[in-house]
Amino acid sequence: MDFKTSLEEVNSMAMKITDECTACGLCIPECHQTAISAGDIYVLDPDTCNECEGIEGGSRCVAICPVGCIEKAT
């Protein structure tokens, strides 16, 4: 496995926050990986996000987001 393949695999297991983010802050305490950081809009670190692997219900940030701005990174 080369580095590029490894990086693609890491990024395939991550979510992203779109520009529709209102920075409401509800997602931050839901993230068990502390992958979300605040700013004008919130940012999700793809190297840290594991889509809440092993947690019932999957991605907690997606479930709590009131504007639906968290989606699978492509």
Instruction: List average pLDDT for each run of 10 residues in the chain, which is 74 residues long.
Output: 45 82 95 92 92 91 96 88
What pLDDT, on a 0 to 100 scale, did the predictor assign at position 10? 43
Query: Would you tell me how many other CB atoms lie within 10 Å of the CB of residue 48?
Result: 14
DSSP state of 70: E
What pLDDT, on a 0 to 100 scale, did the predictor assign at position 38? 92
What pLDDT, on a 0 to 100 scale, did the predictor assign at position 73? 87
pTM equals 0.76
CA distance 49 to 12: 10
What pLDDT, on a 0 to 100 scale, did the predictor assign at position 40? 84
* CATH class (in words) of the domain with range 3-72: alpha beta
